[in-house]
Amino acid sequence: MATSTQTTAQMWCEPGYCKNRGTCTVVNAAFKCTCPDGYIGDQCQDQDHHTIIVVVCVVVVVLLLIGAVVFSIWWCKKQAKKPPPPDHDRDHVGPPETMEMEAKGYI
Q: Does 30 share its domain with 66? A: no
Q: Amino acid letter at 79?
A: Q
Q: Give the domain extent around 83.
A: 48-107
C-alpha to C-alpha distance for 47 and 85, rounded to whole angstroms: 60
pTM equals 0.44
Q: Does 24 share its domain with 65? A: no
DSSP state, 16? T
User: pLDDT value at position 87?
Assistant: 65
- Sequential pLDDT tens for the chain (107 residues): 444 444 544 457 888 999 999 999 988 888 999 999 989 999 999 998 888 888 999 999 999 999 999 999 999 998 888 887 776 655 555 566 666 666 676 66
Partners of 47 in the β-ladder: 39
Q: Which helix (H) or strand (E) holds 34?
A: strand 30-34
Domain count of the fold of the chain: 2
- Tell me, what CATH number does 40's domain have? 2.10.25.10
What's the residue count for the chain?
107
